[in-house]
Every structure is written in C-alpha cells, then in structure tokens.
Amino acid sequence: MNSMPDAGSTVEIDEEKAAALTHDAREALERHFGFREFLSGQERVVSALVSGRDAMVVMPTGGGKSLCYQLPALVMNGVTLVVSPLIALMKDQVDALERRGIAATVINSTLSPGEQQERIRQMADGMYKLVYVAPERFRSRVFMDALKQVPIALFAVDEAHCLSQWGHDFRPDYLRLAAAVAELGHPQTAAFTATATPTVRDDIQKTLALTDPFISVSGFERPNLSLRVVQCEKKKTKFTRMRAVINAHRTGIVYCATRRNVEEVAESIASWGVKVMAYHGGMSDGEREQAQTSFIDGSFDVAVATNAFGMGIDRSDVRFVIHFEVPGSLEAYYQEAGRAGRDGEPAVCELLFNYADTRTQEFFISGNNPGYPLICDVYEKLRERADAKNEVILPLRQLADQVGAKNDMGVGSALSTLARAGAVQRFDVSGTRTRGTRLLRPELDASQLDIDREALAEKEQRDHSKLQAMVKFCYDHGCRQEWILTYFGEPNPTTCGNCDSCLSGQPSSGGKGGAAAGSGGSRGSARRRAPDDEELMIAQKALSGVARASNRDADGNWAGRFGKGKIVGMLVGSQSKEIIAARLDQLSTHGLLKSEGTAYVQILLRELEYAGLLETQMGDYPLLTLTAQGAKVMRGNREFELRWPDRSHIAHATTPVASGGGAIASIESGLEEVALDSGLLAALKEKRTELARDEGNKPAYTIFADATLEFFARLRPKTTDAGLRIRGVGPTKAEKYLEHFLEIIREWKG
Ligand code: ADP
Ligand code: ZN
C-alpha cells in the first residue's frame, strides 16, 4: 500500500498489516459490493479504519463515503453504528445492504416503539453488522443502555458537518453525539462529510474528540464539470444565458436564492416550452416530495429550486447546473454544482454572477445571526407570553412583530440559539405548521442564560468570510477547479483545462483558494513581460487614477471608492452623467488615458489586477483600489510583469462587433480582425463535428467552443503560434486539433 498524503496524521499505519488487509478489502469489495476498483480515497480510509484508527473523511457527495464504513463493518467485530440525519436515505441504504446479504437495520422514529425495542434487543444480541440511527436516538436512555451491552466496532458519523456551527447545516442533536461517544467509552470513531473546509474539519475533530485521526480529503476533483462564472450586469443577460444553456444541454437544475425568484424563473422557462418544475421551502412536504420524484424519474427536464433541493438527489444525467444568483459559500456552491454530471459525462455549471445579489446573501447572514440583543428580546418576550405550562404557541411572524424584528428568520435563529443553550425546547403542534416553544428554565432571565456571545460573533464573522471567498472566486481568473480544491484543502490540486478560465487560456496562478485567496499572484503566460518606458508610464497613469479614486487610511492602506466601470470612464475622460455626479471629472487624472480608448483601458485594468497591482474590495459594490505593490509601481518601481494589451490594434478594438467579444479577442491575440464569413464558420463547425465523431461521439463543444470557432473565423490564424493566442485554445487542444482548423483557414478562398 502506498502511504497517502494524509495531512495531519502522525501515526503511520502498520504497512504489513495494512497490505494484508488491503488485499482482503479488495476481495471483499468485489465479493460484497460487486465493485472492481476503489474510488478515490476509499482504499486508504478502509485500511485506516480496519487498522483501528479514528478517521476524518472528506469526500464530495457521490464520492462513495458509505462504502468506507460499510466495508470495514463487515470485517470488524461488533456492530457499526451509522449516525445520519437523513432518515429517508437510511432506509434505501439498509435495503441495499440487505439485498447484498449484509445484516443491517435502521432504528428511528418511523418505527413503532414496540419495533424499536425489538430491534434494540436484536442489536444487543449482535444480530446486525450495521445499525443506522438518527442523532436524536441518543436522547433515549433505553437506547444508550442497550448500546453499552454490545461491542461497538465503529461509531460512524455521516454528514458530520452538521455538528459544526460553522457548517451550513448545523443540527443541535449532533452535539449530543460527543457526549454519547464519551459515555460509550470512546469506541473507534469516524466522521464523514462532503462539505468541510479545514475550519469545519477541526471543529468536528475537536467536538468528537477524535484521537489522532487519519485525515483523508479526496474526490473533489470533477474533471467532467466545466465550471464557469458569467458576469451578468443585467437580469436579461441571465435569462439569455440560461436559455442558451437549457437549449444546449436540456436536463438540469437552476438554483435561485429566494422563493420569489424560483417562481419567476420557473415561469419564464415554462414559457419557452420546457418541461420545468419548481421546488422551494414554501411548498408542503408532500408537494416537495412529489416534485423531487418527478424530476428524478425524468418527467421534468429542468428543476428550478432553492438550496433546499437536492439533498440526496439521485439523477445522474443532470447535464447542467445554473446558479441564477451567487450562493452564500463555496461549500454550498460546489455541493450544488456537483449535482451535475454524476454519470461522469461532460456537464456544465454556470454561475450567473451579479455583485448586487450578494445583498440577498447578506440578508440571509443577518437572518442566521440574530445577535445577542435580539436573542435576549425574544427570550424575554417568551417569558412574558408563556402560559401555565410555560409554553408559547405563536407563528414566527407574530413573535417577530412583537419584538419589533424586521426579519422573522432572525427570530427563528434566535430560538435555535436558545434551544442550543438549553433555555427552550421547540415542539410540533399537531395540525399546524406553527411550532411551539417551551421554556425549560423559566426562572432564569436572559442575562442568566448560558449563551456564548463570543462564539456568536465569531460565527457571524465566518459567514461573512465565506461569502467573501465566494465572491473572490467569482472575480478570480485562475482555474476554478484548482481554486476549489485548494479551498477544501485537497493536497496538490492541479488545473482542470475545462473551466472558463482554463478555456480562455488564462493559466492559473496556483494555490489561490480559501483564506490564501488574496490579490493577484503571478500569472504564467507566454506574453507576460516587463514594461518598456512608454508602457510603464501608461501603467502609472492608470494606477494614479485608481489612487485618486481611492481613500488611504493612516496606516497607508488603500480603500476603494468606485467600481471598475467608473474608473475606466474617468481615465478616458468620459463626461457622462454618472461620472459628473460622482465628481470624477474633477480629478486631475480625468482623461489621462483618453488616447488609449475604453477597450484598451478596460483590459489594462484587468491585467493590472491579475498582476496583483490592483484589487477588488467588497462593499455595497465591488470597489477597485491599489495594492501595496501597485502603490510601489505608481511611485516608479518597474519590477512587475504584465500581459500587455497590444496598442497597435486599438482601432479595431473600438469598432463594435456584433457578437461581442471579438474586439477583446483581437487585442488579446494581436491578430487583425476581419468580418465574419459564415461560410468559413460553417466549414470549421463541420470539421469540429467530424473530429467529435472520430473521438467516440464526444460533445462537439469539448473540441472547441462555438465562441472559439467564431474567433477563428474572425481572426483567421494561420500558424500554430497565432492559433495559440486565441481564447479557448490551450496547448493540449492545440496539439490535438488545431492543425485541422488552420488548414481550412489557410485554404479558405472566401
Ligand atoms: P456519498 O455517501 O459519498 O454521497 P455513496 O456512498 O452514496 O456516496 O456512493 C455514491 C455511489 O457510488 C453509489 O451509487 C455507490 O454504490 C457507488 N460506489 C461506491 N463505491 C464504489 C466503487 N468502489 N466502485 C463503483 N461504485 C461505487
Ligand atoms: Zn480550470
């Protein structure tokens, strides 16, 4: 067995023993599950568990986590307890195990008390290898006592991020697990999750008191997904993009941040004649279940949904996932995007980004983080309203009105915090959707409650950082896949060659994900070079323009005041209403780069940002400002490299091109643009179809995207070198396909 890069583990596995077990494990894999090979990460986890170690396993949804504990369960002595919050999925898992002749069962609230007792007794008699339980089971004394009678081989906690307050799916019942594990005398314990950043991972590890766990992060790489972020200034652009994606790929999911948008988007899609269904939390359980089932069975092609949709969605032929708005975190984004292409075939994930949408996420963050004063107000209101049984039954909306809160979500979160602090208990009221609240310690006033104010503040801070990382991801131009892998802490991430950045020939800067995602970094590109004198001057003019449009604090840090659009307008001397209203025409830098033209200045600023001389900061709007390095260059330092836009093509750059993009491509490639010849384009497309067919009917766009073929037709590269300078042509594709296209272009007589 090769020793895997298990960051964080200090004890080496006994190699010899592990090798023997691994051999057995492979054989067992085939015998019990009918699989010939392990999926990424499974084998090393199985070995670690069989050798008796605790483990912390991070794998994406669909990565094959269950097998990691199911297989060891078969060869270990005693029962493997599997804790999972997804009662609906437990039954499927148990059925599947039973079909394979493995003794497994589930003990949960869907059983009658009689049945539960019966199964607990059978478990104590050692009749099962695997027992699935929901976390609330550990509240039961009877259950705990029964557990103490059985040897526990493994305590497996699935969806373990639910026990971290930093996770997006915290469940108070999960906190009970730590005490349960302790009471059972710390049996071997393993935590499994799909969405764990290093912080969440540490939290899980501490909470469950894992002993020197084997840590494994694997399987996040999804080479068949083409991740893309499309900047959408207007809502109309979003609809246009969405329609194009649906037309091209047919089956998929559109995620929206709010119910209102789900309804609006679903309606539009329906009006295009597409079989579409909507799904959100405002629907009844029955309606939701039916919607989910009819998407899975293929009655609908497109699902439009809030993030409530998809836990355990098992439709493997999802060809696209669109995010109509930016999600609140990369964890959420990737989990949702990851529902595309589970069959391993190519799929696209497109995020329609508009900075203004971050406000919706900010609203959710404030709803999820009510703040200490509101928590106290809610508590005192409950005490005031409680009946003789110390209960309050009041819809959230009304409770919110009574404490003068704008956002009922905040009140709901306050109640959860109070529940976690042991101050109240929530209960279902039969026949209504309103939940009741019972005061557990009515004699205490708010100030006497055990509420960790520091932790609350810290959580809010983290939610903001997660959103910020998400936004940085959207603005970044490195490889999307690599960014995500770094964020999740996968060792040695590589670029994917398949995302929008890779396809546009922007090589990655490496290791930009997560907390490290800062400004710029180095961008490897053939055409990066130091400035000549004239270019240095231009860069300095641009930088001083940005400096004039920024504030600087006493410590010398820069803070942006304007977005990129306004700064470009200022630099080229625009006299538009917005520029004048912002008084940008009053700055001495107004019009400083007038002779260079808007298209040039836009590209220049973008390149300066890639090079780490400028950065985008978050505020109500994205604001452009200088970095410390940019300030140095402004003052004369010339130690930097840029992909300099070619100034000799400015004339072409400013001629509008019908399909858009051509002008910029022309500047980027340094090729002269000619009018689009539809005959040539058709010939190129025909060649592409032919190549795709030769490669076993690959989807044509995986050869070259439509936009790339259009650039070929407009820019007519005739040499490999020229072709390589066009967006969407990387070295690999150039080697495989480019010559076929160059040949057509060279011979074209149009
Ligand atoms: P997770 O819990 O990580 O979301 P599952 O455990 O449900 O993922 O596994 C996802 C799918 O992969 C299941 O259909 C499972 O049968 C399949 N699978 C698991 N391990 C293997 C393997 N070694 N080879 C082939 N398929 C596997
Ligand atoms: Zn990439």
CA dist., res. 43 & res. 219, Å (int)? 12
> Which residues crowd ion ligand 2, with CB under 5 Å?
479, 481, 495-496, 499, 502
Smallest-distance ligand from the CA of 476: 2
β-sheet bridge partners, residue 228 = 350
Distances from the Cα of 696 to the Cα of 661, 693, 729, angstroms: 31, 6, 21
- 320 neighbors 340 (Cβ within 8 angstroms): yes
pLDDT of residue 2: 38
* 172-183 helix and 198-207 helix, angle to the nearest 10 degrees: 40
Pairing between β-strand 189-193 and β-strand 152-157 as defined by DSSP bridges: parallel
Please indicate whether residue 41, judged by its CB atom, sits closer than 6 Å to ligand 1: no
For the chain, the 3-state helix, strand and coil shares in percent, each to the nearest 5, are: 50, 15, 40
Please indicate whether residue 62, judged by its CB atom, sits closer than 6 Å to ligand 1: yes
CA dist., res. 145 & res. 88, Å (int)? 26
What are the residues whose beta carbons fall under 8 Å from the beta carbon of 489, sequence distance 6 or more?
A: 7, 58, 197, 198, 201, 217, 514
- Global pTM reads 0.64
Structure tokens at 34: 């009918």
Closest-CA residue, ligand 1 atom 27, reads: 64
pLDDT of residue 23: 66
H/E/C letters for each residue in 13-38? CCHHHHHHHHHHHHHHHHHHHCCCCC
Smallest-distance ligand from the CA of 505: 2
DSSP for 388-419, please give it: TTSEEE--HHHHHHHHT-S-HHHHHHHHHHHH
Structure tokens at 14: 């006994």
β-sheet bridge partners, residue 626 = 614
Structure tokens at 20: 């023997």
Among 187, 207, 191, residue whose Cα is nearest residue 157: 191
Q: Which residue has the tokens 């936009």?
A: 707
Question: Which H or E run contains 105?
Answer: strand 104-107
Helices (H), 65-135: 65-75, 87-99, 113-124
Q: Which residue has the tokens 């903001």?
A: 464
CA dist., res. 293 & res. 291, Å (int)? 5
- 486 neighbors 493 (Cβ within 8 angstroms): yes
Please indicate whether residue 39, judged by its CB atom, sits closer than 6 Å to ligand 1: yes
Please indicate whether residue 564, judged by its CB atom, sits closer than 6 Å to ligand 1: no
pLDDT of residue 661: 44
DSSP for 628-670, please give it: HHHHHHHTT-----EE---GGGHHHHHS--TTSSHHHHHHHHT
Closest-CA residue, ligand 1 atom 19, reads: 64
Half-sphere exposure of 460 (CA within 13 A, CB side): 16
- 456 neighbors 371 (Cβ within 8 angstroms): yes
Long-range CB contacts for residues 95-99, cutoff 8 Å, separation at least 24: 97/70, 97/130
Among 553, 573, 576, residue whose Cα is nearest residue 625: 553
Please indicate whether residue 8, judged by its CB atom, sits closer than 6 Å to ligand 1: no
pLDDT of residue 667: 53
Average pLDDT by consecutive 10-residue portion of the chain (750 residues)? Answer: 36 46 76 89 92 92 89 91 86 91 90 89 91 91 88 94 71 84 95 81 90 90 92 90 93 95 96 93 85 88 87 80 96 90 91 94 92 94 93 91 89 90 88 87 92 88 90 87 88 84 60 35 50 90 93 88 91 90 91 86 84 82 88 89 67 34 54 76 90 84 85 85 79 85 86
SS3 call for 56: strand
Q: List, in sequence order, every beta strand (DSSP E) within 528-570.
A: 528-529, 550-552, 558-560
Our mutation pick for probing the ligand 1 site, out of 66, 334, 342, counting the most ligand atoms within 8 A of Cβ, is 66
Please indicate whether residue 67, judged by its CB atom, sits closer than 6 Å to ligand 1: yes
- Of the chain, the end-to-end C-alpha distance in Å amounts to 61
CA dist., res. 181 & res. 157, Å (int)? 11
Q: List, in sequence order, every beta strand (DSSP E) within 534-655.
A: 550-552, 558-560, 614-618, 622-626, 642-643
For residue 65, which atom of ligand 1 is closest to its CA? 3
Cα 498 to ligand 2 centroid, rounded to whole Å: 5
Q: What is the largest CA-CA distance in the chain?
A: 92
pLDDT of residue 167: 59
Closest-CA residue, ligand 1 atom 16, reads: 64
pLDDT of residue 169: 65
Distances from the Cα of 95 to the Cα of 77, 120, 314, 322, 347, angstroms: 22, 18, 16, 33, 31
Could you tell me the sign of the dihedral formed by the alpha carbons of 683, 669, 651, 718, in that order? Answer: negative
Burial of 453 (0-12, 13-18, 19+ CB in 10 A): exposed
What are the residues whose beta carbons fall under 8 Å from the beta carbon of 682, sequence distance 6 or more?
A: none
Please indicate whether residue 170, judged by its CB atom, sits closer than 6 Å to ligand 1: no
- 377 neighbors 423 (Cβ within 8 angstroms): no
Cα 334 to ligand 2 centroid, rounded to whole Å: 14
